[in-house]
Amino acid sequence: MRVLVVEDDEIAAEYVRKGLMEAGHVVDLALDGDLGLEMVRAADYDAVILDRMLPKRDGLSVLSSMREEGDVTPVLILSALGEVDHRVEGLRAGGDDYLAKPYSFTELLARVEAIGRRSDPTAAVTKLKVGDLEMDLLARTVKRADENILLQPREFRLLECLMRNAGRVVTRTMLLEKVWDYHFDPQTNVIDVHISRLRSKIDKGYEQPLLHTVRGAGYRLQP
């Protein structure tokens, strides 16, 4: 998941960021409410961890603005205010969950992943299909025209990303973030190498190519 942490305590924010990244998530940080709201407006996040007491704009104000603007990104509120009335206030403001400080990181991670799953419309999908190409997400297998295709783990993740976005252009930046967890393009040819290998496995020997390069934009998987 891609998670935004809005927390003004730099030590606490770094602690959460490091833990989430170790769990395999991509994490951005904002140290005040104004910046947090700007970042939510500028990018798509799977979940937001939002401290309640923030400089410039408090957490509930950030949350209210998000909901008024139609942003339904799941939000876990963190706060030293842990009384029942405070929790109710946060949930009624649009929060999906509320965790009082001090907290266990293990619990925070479980709660963030839980609200992320609830909001993910693809979470229950176990099989993907584009043309005669099929992917079983549980068995971790890929077939084309009923022939098994052996992929390396990174190739599997790359193909999964393309299949989930079938028919749409997937940019290099999107692939770097979703498959390699990079926040920027470090001028590497890693994508070109993996796309070439993937194309040789899913298209070579078949009459109809599925993986297309869109010059200056990215890649698209479609019949």
Q: Tens digits of per-residue pLDDT, 75-99?
A: 999 988 878 888 888 888 889 899 8
For the ranges 80-84, 160-164, 169-173, the maximum mean pLDDT occurs at 160-164
Q: Which candidate, 140, 21, 3, places its Cα nearest to that of 73?
A: 3
- Bridge partners, 29 (sequence order): 5
**Domain hosting residue 137, numbered range:** 127-221
Same domain, 17 and 81: yes
Same-domain check for residues 115 and 133: no
Q: Are residues 152 and 212 in the same domain?
A: yes
The pLDDT value given to residue 88: 87
Distance CA 216, CA 139 (A): 35
Question: Are 174 and 99 in a shared domain?
Answer: no
Alpha-carbon span 32 to 57, nearest angstrom: 7
Coil, strand or helix: which one is 185?
coil
What per-residue confidence (pLDDT) applies to 195? 95
Q: Say which CATH number the domain at 191 has.
A: 1.10.10.10
110 and 157 fall within a common domain: no
Higher model confidence: residue 185 or residue 175? 175
pLDDT band at 185 (very low <50, low <70, confident <90, very high): low
What is the overall mean pLDDT for the chain? 88
Which of the pair, 133 or 178, is modelled with greater confidence? 133
Q: Which residue has the higher pLDDT, 183 or 177?
A: 177
> Which residue in this structure is represented by tokens 């994508």?
191
Q: What is the CATH number of the domain that holds 16?
A: 3.40.50.2300
pLDDT band at 143 (very low <50, low <70, confident <90, very high): very high
Asked whether residue 132 falls in the same domain as residue 202, the answer is: yes
Domain stop point among 119, 144, 160: 119
Q: With 60 as the cut, is the pLDDT of residue 184 above it? A: no
Domain boundary among 90, 119, 148: 119
Residues 6 and 115 in one domain: yes
Residues 20 and 103 in one domain: yes
Residues 136, 87 share a domain = no
Question: Do 95 and 137 share a domain, yes or no?
Answer: no
Are 194 and 161 part of one and the same domain? yes
Number of domains in the chain: 2
Domain stops at, among 99, 119, 139: 119
Q: What distances in angstroms separate CA 108 from CA 15, 62, 78, 98, one per listed residue?
A: 12, 20, 9, 10
| Same domain membership, residue 174 and residue 105 | no
